[in-house]
Amino acid sequence: MTDLAAVKAALKTQAIETPSWAYGNSGTRFKVFAQPGVPRTPEEKLDDAARVHAHTGAAPSVALHIPWDTVDDYAALAAHAEKLGLRIGAINSNVFQDDDYKLGSVTNPDPQVRRKALGHLLECVDIMDATGSRDLKLWFSDGTNYPGQGDIRARQDRLAEALAAVHDRLGDDQRMLLEYKLFEPAFYTTDVPDWGTAYAHCLKLGEKAQVVVDTGHHAPGTNIEFIVAVLLREGKLGGFDFNSRFYADDDLMVGAADPFQLYRIMYEVVRGGGFTPGVAFMLDQCHNIEAKIPAIIRSVMNVQEATAKALLVDHEALAAAQAAGDVLEANAVFMDAYSTDVRPLLAQVREEQGLDPDPVAAYRASGWQERIAAERVGGRQAGWGA
């Protein structure tokens, strides 16, 4: 039997981090469709993020991306966040948008480029100090396009050297989250292509190094929940970049393409003791054609729904069926929770928190969208990569 009160209490503790770049314009390499009211500054991105938190009660932190969110005074930016009831989440480094990084950043054969890349990563730790951020998220586009182009092993050595320098620089309460991605923009080899490579580096680095799982960064058909279970068992799961995909790194709204996969992932999180602040639930999405703020609200709700279902699994019944070798019953117990309509439960949770049970409708009725469309005129709209 599942304890409903405990499920509701757990749901009230869930924090889902939204990414600053999801509030700006984004698109594909074919076209960026600009939207009215899009933020022009990091402060305005936080203003929008505060609306997501106000209507969901579950999105108290915002990830920054440097240099997209570069400001003169990071402490002032953190103070702006605090005034809005938010805090600064992960600092995402960017060593993939500079001409110097054509052949790689920290794995580049040129030591000068490697020094520049490492300098950026260390600067990101300075920004963590100034903003009170706990996590440094590292994603490297480093890799090669052609067999023979680079020395795969030497590139691993250079990567390890840079990661160790960053690890050494971290404070006691700070962590580095190493993200992997199968391919793109490099097509032949990627220097951190999979969880095994990320795990091997993190294991060597030490306790402050953890793996981050971006759900869009796997080959089709990959069993992501298995990776989650293994990383949690090893104490090396630092968090998620949630999004969903049909084909490659589509960055669509989490839970939109495959809600069942999201449920299976959240089940392993709960089962493996990962439903704690030690595992960061972050979104990494780009809203190309849909309205951004309601799409982010919807994404937060999708994560909450998958979590609620995972929390509803009758663990005793499942364990009993598994121990008895009752394959069908075990599967039935697992599917029962998935098939539960948790929307009324979540509406109740929100009402108990003093929130509107329907966050998207509440946002629509708030007038915020009309207000930003009218007020944010002129200036340069923020966008992915800018």
Q: How far apart are CA 355 and CA 362, in angstroms?
A: 9
Tell me the HSE value of 101 on the side-chain side, using a 13 A CA sphere.
18
Closer to Mn ion at the Cβ: 238 or 359? 238
Q: What φ, ψ does residue 75 adopt, rounded to 5°?
A: -65, -35
Q: Which two tokens stand for residue 191?
A: 């220097």
Q: Are the C-beta atoms of residues 106 and 142 closer than 8 Å to each other?
A: yes
Q: Among the candidate windows 13-21, 156-164, 213-221, 250-258, which touches Mn ion by CB under 5 A? A: 213-221
Q: Which two tokens stand for residue 41?
A: 């500054």
Residues in touch with ligand PSV (CB under 6 A): 21, 92, 139, 179, 181, 214, 241, 249, 284
- Nearest Cα neighbor of 71 from 137, 132, 127 is 127
Closer to ligand PSV at the Cβ: 159 or 308? 159
Instruction: For the segment 280-319, give every residue that binds Mn ion (CB under 5 A).
Output: 284
Element (H, E) at 87: strand 87-92
180 binding partner (options Mn ion, ligand PSV, none; Cβ < 5 to 8 Å by kind): none
Letters for 111-140 (x = contact with Mn ion by CB under 5 A, - = none) are ------------------------------
Q: Which residues of 261-282 are buried (b: 16+ CB within 10 A; e: fewer)?
A: bbbbbbbbbbbbebbeeebbbb
Closer to Mn ion at the Cβ: 219 or 335? 219
Q: Among the candidate windows 57-65, 237-245, 275-283, 285-293, which touches Mn ion by CB under 5 A? A: 237-245
Q: Which two tokens stand for residue 284?
A: 């990494």
Tell me the HSE value of 193 on the side-chain side, using a 13 A CA sphere.
16
Q: Among the candidate windows 241-249, 310-318, 320-328, 342-350, which touches Mn ion by CB under 5 A? A: 241-249
249 binding partner (options Mn ion, ligand PSV, none; Cβ < 5 to 8 Å by kind): ligand PSV
Among 214, 251, 268, 305, binds Mn ion (CB under 5 A): 214
Residue with nearest beta carbon to ligand PSV: 139
Residues in the site for Mn ion, rule: CB under 5 A? Answer: 214, 241, 284
